[in-house]
Structure 1
Amino acid sequence: MSPDTLYQRIIDYANRADPYPLYAELRENGVTRQEDGSYLVGTYHEIAALLHDPRVSSDSRSRADPSTVPMFRRNVHQAFIGLDDPEHDRLRRLTMRPFGPPHTPGRIDALRPDMTRISDELIDAFGDKDRIDIVEDFAYPLPVTVICRLLGVPYEDVPRFRAWTNAVIDGVDLTPGKDAESRQRAGQDAREAMGDYIGDLADKRRDHPTDDMLSALVHDNGPEGRLTRTELMATGTLLLIAGHETTVNLISNGALTFLRFPDAYRLLRDKPELMPRAVEELLRYEPPVHLLPQRTPLADIEVSDVTVPKGVPLILVLAAGNRDPLRFDDPDHFDPTREDNQHFGFGSGIHNCFGAPLARVEAQIALNALLPRLEGFRLSEDPPPYRRSSILRGPRHLPIERASDATF
């Protein structure tokens, strides 16, 4: 097929279960201009350079043609993930102060006992079931509970923001279809509703602070001042969504990969101290985020002898770069002991994932707790049903069942 259709084929749901042959085709064709005028990049070294290039913008307002900006990014105050420096740097630093070093170095470590306890409780609830949905019964409730505790969102409100999150993710879905506009509008409405919710919760924390991160953001008197209410709304929405969505995929993809590779399963079951390295390999091999569709050159730039014009959409396929044979040895092989592993699982550059430290710890604790419980189980279907999104890729459900002929 023609390389200028690669993007449409990648985002086609029919290819969600196994997009990797398309990623190999993309790498073979280099930087490719697509039918819609965007440019697609899937090779490791080119992606790395672009992620560190100050001439490449994350701000949708940099687009030469406003009609190429998805509805979900219009008329909504952007969190720092969708801004450039210096505004991005200011907001990110303000948000980092109550989250991690150097100002709050113990925030994540303090959550470890709770993560372990929640993981154990969820696994104990499996009981003697012969069939388990890893996503619904484990991979989703763990990070949702943790992010609620971290931010100070009452757990009884989880059903509300789960519905909002699903609508937002559906709204940024790139899969073509006649309902695209209505999905984008519903996603924008959900984003605004979630922002209003965060704003109201922040107002309560002004008068009645607790020990959660939202209270810390509201009352932070750092040298740059506090976040405005609008900035709090946008930042809180980002943290709520990103704080669990990618981790759900990471844990689910991890369980799926271990069930597909019995040798790796047995190695990690017997040597749990290898799990940190295995999580890094999962972030390379089956990452929770597959592509970044919102980059824009601020000037004409050369990428592998191809001129990408100023203002056009630039799409970085991170998952393709993660399996580039020019960067990784035997890249299509899952090796939980891999050492040289500077992947794009959390991006790179100034927009490197804010919550990466939390996601790493959650995944390590969760998968080490889950591994012994997989004994005697097999996948009920392979591939499992996947979520619709081509950006955030992971199983929608991951049913496993007890079987006498399981391979471990």
Structure 2
Amino acid sequence: MTTIPAPAEAFHEVLDHRNRPNPYPCYARLAEQPVTRVDDRTWVVTRYADISRLLRDPRMSAVRRPGGGVEPEEPPARDEHGNPIGIPFLRQDPPNHDRLRRAVMDSFVPRITAMRGRVESLVDGLLESRAGAGTLDVVADLAYPLPVSVICELLGVPESDEPVFREFARVLTRSLDPVESLTEQEQRETEQQAAALREYVGGMIQHRMANPGDDLLSDLLAADEPMHVLDLGTTLGLLLIAGHETTVNLITNGVLALLRNPAALADLRADDGLAVPLVEEVLRYDPPVQMTARTTRTDVEVAGTTIPAASRVTMLLAAGNRDAGRFADPDRFWPRRPDNAHLGFGGGIHYCVGAALARAEAQVALTALANRLRNPRLVVDPPPYRRNAVLRGPERLPVAFDGLAER
């Protein structure tokens, strides 16, 4: 007889690496009730309508508070105008969040639009490098090198330094997980890498101040209201870590879904235009960001449950995306799904700043793989997964194929 764990235990199962290949049964058990109390300060919300509302609720704060509470344990440094500095805007509330995000978007979005041709060239080059091998590790050979090359080009990072940035991303993404899932060694390692990243980015900023170029960093330095140097450093780190890892998982999860669903792969080969809705369905069906968290400023009622002020609320985006009350046949991978307003990039004022870039990279990569790999097939299923529960994705995804078609 199968034992159904208590809801709080089901949340700990979500964080358990043994369930990383398929956490969706754990999400389904949690979703049997819309709100779960994990401990005195932590609550979990699973249903689409509740998550969508909370992501837009000004009573929910994005400021990270290690010990809980309404205010950070250590007050942040502030600039001459009283604005907090040195904190990623992803973890700030208005009005400072809005000021920093606007500064990035003004330069970032136009550059993304102009990058698509370069993305196509990079994807072709990565595939050509494996043409005679007969195998491709989607993670190591495509999904990791593509977004790190793109973000480094956007920021003006020398190509020779890309491996350094890859290591920063690998280690620092673990810091996004709930702290209870991290070992003491992992916490020390993330702190060390965060310090190393700050030092590297600080050097980049100083160099660009003296030698402006045609890159995003130079744009930000030349803005009418330039960021404080500490804000600039944390913003560059955020673009590298969050943007890179999201795209890695989006591409890899997309390939996995296509190879598990041959009809969808055949449809994409027959119609490149399917790439746009297909990527949206990957974002719903197996999103690269599985959960996000906020802190309640006041008591907040969710589905008849009052969550007290100063509580940490984890919103399971991946569970909301499989909510049968919002999506028909939610466990089905359906690239032509109508009305696919998923939670894959969050929502509200903190909607993923790199969403447009991640979409473009995934659309190009999945289309190229579908059109160019002859008879692609999974070598192992399920593949091994990385430890991260928030940014969930395979550690490796080996694919065998019979040759590479001409572009």
State whether TM-score is above 0.5: yes
Q: 2:363 is aligned with what amino acid?
A: Q
For residues 392 and 296 of structure 1, the distance between their equivalents in structure 2, rounded to whole angstroms, comes to 20
Alignment partner of 2:377: what SS? strand
Check whether the contact 2:139–2:397 (CA below 8 A) recurs between aligned residues: yes
For residues 381 and 177 of structure 2, the distance between their equivalents in structure 1, rounded to whole angstroms, comes to 23
Give runs of aligned pairs for residues 2-13 of structure 1, distance below 5 A.
Answer: 2-13=6-17
Aligned counterpart, 2:87: 78
Check whether the contact 1:59–1:296 (CA below 8 A) recurs between aligned residues: yes
Question: Does 2:99 align with 1:99?
Answer: no
Task: Report runs of 4+ in structure 1 exceeding 3 Å deviation.
Answer: 61-69, 171-177
Give 1:188 shift: 2.0
Stretches of structure 1 that go unaligned for 5 or more consecutive residues are 70-74
For residues 373 and 269 of structure 1, the distance between their equivalents in structure 2, rounded to whole angstroms, comes to 9
Alignment partner of 1:299: what SS? coil
Check whether the contact 1:30–1:41 (CA below 8 A) recurs between aligned residues: yes
For residues 290 and 131 of structure 2, the distance between their equivalents in structure 1, rounded to whole angstroms, comes to 34
Aligned counterpart, 2:54: 50
Aligned residues: 389
Equivalent of 2:204, from 201, 206, 210?
Answer: 201
Give runs of aligned pairs for residues 168-187 of structure 1, distance below 5 A.
Answer: 168-174=172-178, 180-187=183-190
Aligned counterpart, 2:79: none
For residues 118 and 43 of structure 2, the distance between their equivalents in structure 1, rounded to whole angstroms, comes to 44
Taking a change above 3 Å as real, the CA distance of residues 68 and 263 of structure 1, as seen in their structure-2 partners, is: farther
Question: Does 2:374 align with 1:375?
Answer: yes
For residues 279 and 321 of structure 2, the distance between their equivalents in structure 1, rounded to whole angstroms, comes to 14
Give 1:68 shift: 11
Check whether the contact 1:254–1:282 (CA below 8 A) recurs between aligned residues: yes
Give 1:182 shift: 2.3
Give 1:76 shift: 9.6
Give 1:66 shift: 9.2
Q: 1:253 is aligned with what amino acid?
A: N
Worse overlay, 45-54 or 26-35: 26-35
Question: Does 2:211 align with 1:212?
Answer: no
Q: Deviations over 1:350-392 (max 9, x none)?
A: 0000011111111111111111233322111110001110000
Aligned counterpart, 2:389: 390
Q: 1:284 is aligned with what amino acid?
A: R
Check whether the contact 1:195–1:236 (CA below 8 A) recurs between aligned residues: no
Check whether the contact 2:171–2:189 (CA below 8 A) recurs between aligned residues: yes
Give runs of aligned pairs for residues 256-405 of structure 1, distance below 5 A.
Answer: 256-292=256-292, 294-402=293-401
For residues 397 and 66 of structure 1, the distance between their equivalents in structure 2, rounded to whole angstroms, comes to 40
Taking a change above 3 Å as real, the CA distance of residues 305 and 152 of structure 1, as seen in their structure-2 partners, is: same
Question: Does 2:134 align with 1:151?
Answer: no
Give 1:252 shift: 0.5
RMSD: 2.1
Alignment partner of 1:295: what SS? strand
> Identity percentage over the alignment?
45
Taking a change above 3 Å as real, the CA distance of residues 67 and 109 of structure 1, as seen in their structure-2 partners, is: closer
Equivalent of 2:146, from 142, 146, 153?
Answer: 142
Aligned counterpart, 2:127: 123
Taking a change above 3 Å as real, the CA distance of residues 220 and 64 of structure 1, as seen in their structure-2 partners, is: same
Q: Deviations over 1:157-188 (max 9, x none)?
A: 112122222221233334856x6122112212
Check whether the contact 1:64–1:310 (CA below 8 A) recurs between aligned residues: no
Aligned counterpart, 1:112: 116
For residues 36 and 254 of structure 1, the distance between their equivalents in structure 2, rounded to whole angstroms, comes to 37
Check whether the contact 2:85–2:228 (CA below 8 A) recurs between aligned residues: no
Q: Deviations over 1:241-299 (max 9, x none)?
A: 1221100100000111100000111011111111101010110001100011x310000
Stretches of structure 2 that go unaligned for 5 or more consecutive residues are 74-83
Q: 2:155 is aligned with what amino acid?
A: L
Q: Deviations over 1:58-117 (max 9, x none)?
A: 002496459998xxxxx99321000001111111111112112xxxx3x22211111111
Q: 1:247 is aligned with what amino acid?
A: T
Aligned counterpart, 2:99: 90
Alignment partner of 2:32: what SS? helix
Check whether the contact 2:27–2:46 (CA below 8 A) recurs between aligned residues: yes
Taking a change above 3 Å as real, the CA distance of residues 61 and 2 of structure 1, as seen in their structure-2 partners, is: closer
